[in-house]
Amino acid sequence: MFELNQLRCFVAVAEELHFGRAAMRLHMTQPPLSRQVQLLEGALGVQLLERNSRSVRLTPVGRTFLSEARRLLQMAEGAAVAVRRAARGEAGSVTIGFTAGTSFGFLPRFVSAVRHALPGIDLALHEMMTREQVEGLASHRIDLGFARPPFDSRGVATLGVWRESLLLAVPEAHPFAAGEGAFPLAALTGQDLVMYSPTEGQYFHGLVSDLLRRAGALPHYVQHISQIHTILPLVSAGLGLAIVPESARRLGMPGIRYRVLDADTPSTELFAVTREDDATPALLAVLDVLRREVAQLPAGAAVRDGPPCPAA
């Protein structure tokens, strides 16, 4: 089998049609150059050059092979450049898992920042529940996740990313829509409430359930839905009220008024999760962008660093 150096020697001689000039171009002496071309011809089993004491000419086979040799050298150089870019974190791919609620909150901002800072890195996005993300990290199906606590943090590195307040979504025709100031959660007793699913919407179901229990509120649950973007149309249609993260406003759902809750109402939290030992250059470059984005968030949107409570 021939070697890349043999191809380089052949291309130089074929373009110069002179062994002396080709040797000078390659910064080598003429005898080893001639030897490399002979080895190439031997490996191919064909004569590429006709040479005598006065001239060097390409054979018909040599002319055909010259274009192939150039293409192979370009491919080899391209592969070397791609590997060097990947080693610097300038190229590659990163697979990201995210919960549905982040798709209209932090995620679009982050993806835009990565595309601007790292145009050579491809992002593959997959909507997944937090449990699926942790499993996906372990099985290498994803490289980075945006997950809600609590989750099993064994073998997982975490970064606090995003915090946002909860609001009460109210149909415009509802009496609560006309109120001002902080809404008291206790007033939800007896009210129709669209609630999160305890399985697919586990994080928000637990968060809202705790809020209502502490406030002593006993609403009437009319539906259990997993996704925020599905809950809002039901609120707009007058089916009931709902407690949603502040970023839900960005969906622009008509027919809804949003009420601020009590100041001591806990905020939602979002964490970036990766494999603890993953040092892939593309991922590290993406995480650098993530840290810069988190550092630029308003103080109220920052999340404490450190792993969330692991699952039992």
Concatenated DSSP letters of 106-175: HHHHHHHHHHHH-TTEEEEEEE--HHHHHHHHHTTS-SEEEEPSS---TTEEEEEEEEE-EEEEEETTSG
Give how many domains the chain has, as a whole number.
3
pLDDT digits (tens, 9 = 90+) for 115-165: 999 998 889 999 888 889 999 999 999 999 998 888 888 889 999 888 888
Lowest mean pLDDT among 14-23, 48-57, 84-93: 84-93
Q: Is residue 307 part of a domain?
A: no
288 with 256, same domain?
no
Q: What average pLDDT does the segment 280-306 reach?
A: 77
68 with 208, same domain?
no
Q: How many angstroms separate the CA atoms of 244 and 165, rounded?
A: 9
Q: Which domain holds residue 102?
A: 92-163+268-301
176 with 35, same domain?
no
Confidence tier at 298 by pLDDT (50, 70, 90)? low
Q: Is residue 312 part of a domain?
A: no
78 with 202, same domain?
no
195 with 159, same domain?
no
146 with 178, same domain?
no
Q: Is residue 311 part of a domain?
A: no
